[in-house]
């Protein structure tokens, strides 16, 4: 039997049901028989998870993060069902920040990842610079603008140098300049041996950033292909409808 690749995330027949039931008493499947593989190095550094509202994108991301437990199926990280918590980080659309300064949020994260105290200052400064937050270092994190909070949340997630970073609509409702700044942080991070898996509804963003697209509709994977293939010659009718702006059911 061939050995599993050290650079593969594999999702096999994953199903996730809600507590709600349909008319005949069966659990409603929100994610149904999800299967795909992601390369974590080389040719595919940024993967976009796309689909219409309610398709199951965020649910899938939370299952990948271990925040939800699938009813069946499996997720294999480099051939094993277990992943070191330090190797994975997730950032939500609405970040949760500590009631502390920007600097203190980053210091707390670095200390949580056992950063030696003599490296704490340099580590904090590097994260502030990466997020272009140096001038805001002493400002309370919770009074920052939405874009500033999102930049802080992303660089804070990088404090542990994760191998996989999950992002849920990282630039939703943000202005173009802030979107550009966050996209730069993401692409710079992807060049530093970190696999990015990002939920986005923005086709232009996927075109700019993603190497491949996992397209999900009604809790089912319709296709997984390169971004170029997805945008120019989608295979499924659901993807064609989505790209053309038609209602996808």
Structural domain contains residue 75: yes
Residue 1's pLDDT band, with cuts at 50, 70 and 90, is very low
pLDDT over threshold 70, residue 219: yes
0.85 surpassed by pTM = yes
Q: What percent of the chain has pLDDT over 90?
A: 77
We report the CATH number of the domain holding residue 203 as 3.40.50.300
Output 4 or 91, whichever has higher pLDDT. Answer: 91
Cβ proximity of 246 and 217 under 8 Å: no
pLDDT over threshold 80, residue 21: no
User: Burial level of 109, CB count in 10 A (0-12/13-18/19+)?
Assistant: buried
Write the pLDDT tens digit of every residue in 187-211.
999 988 899 999 999 999 999 999 9
Structural domain contains residue 213: yes
Q: Give the Cα separation of 237 and 6 in Å (integer).
A: 34
Write the pLDDT tens digit of every residue in 124-137.
999 999 999 999 99
Structural domain contains residue 1: no
pLDDT over threshold 80, residue 100: yes
Cβ proximity of 64 and 75 under 8 Å: yes
Cβ proximity of 154 and 132 under 8 Å: no
Q: Give the Cα separation of 31 and 18 in Å (integer).
A: 9
Structural domain contains residue 73: yes
What range defines the domain where residue 211 resides? 8-243
Cβ proximity of 103 and 134 under 8 Å: no
pLDDT given for residue 109 in this prediction: 96
Write the pLDDT tens digit of every residue in 233-243.
999 999 999 99
Structural domain contains residue 3: no
How many structural domains are present in the chain? 1
pLDDT given for residue 133 in this prediction: 97
Structural domain contains residue 133: yes
**Token duo for residue 97:** 């920040």
């Amino acid at each position: 039997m061939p050995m599993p690749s050290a650079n593969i995330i594999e999702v096999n027949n994953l199903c996730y049901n809600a507590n709600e039931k349909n008319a005949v008493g069966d659990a409603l499947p929100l994610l149904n028989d999800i299967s795909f593989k992601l390369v974590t190095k080389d040719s595919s550094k940024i993967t976009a998870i796309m689909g219409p509202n309610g398709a199951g994108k965020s649910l899938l991301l939370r299952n990948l993060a271990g925040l939800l437990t699938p009813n069946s199926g499996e997720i294999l990280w480099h051939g094993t069902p277990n992943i070191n918590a330090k190797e994975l980080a997730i950032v939500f659309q609405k970040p949760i920040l500590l009631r502390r300064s920007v600097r203190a949020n980053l210091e707390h994260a670095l200390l949580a990842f056992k950063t030696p105290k003599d490296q704490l200052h340099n580590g904090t400064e590097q994260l502030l610079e990466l997020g272009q937050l140096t001038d805001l270092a002493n400002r309370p994190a919770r009074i920052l603008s939405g874009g500033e909070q999102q930049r802080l949340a992303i660089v804070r997630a990088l404090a542990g140098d994760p191998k996989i970073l999950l992002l849920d609509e990282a630039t939703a409702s943000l202005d173009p300049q802030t979107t550009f700044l966050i996209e730069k942080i993401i692409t710079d991070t992807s060049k530093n041996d970190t696999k990015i898996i990002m939920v986005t509804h923005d086709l232009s963003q996927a075109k700019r950033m993603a190497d491949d697209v996992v397209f999900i509709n009604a809790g089912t994977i319709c296709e997984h292909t390169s971004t170029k293939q997805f945008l120019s010659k989608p295979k499924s009718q659901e993807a064609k409808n989505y790209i053309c702006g038609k209602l996808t059911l």
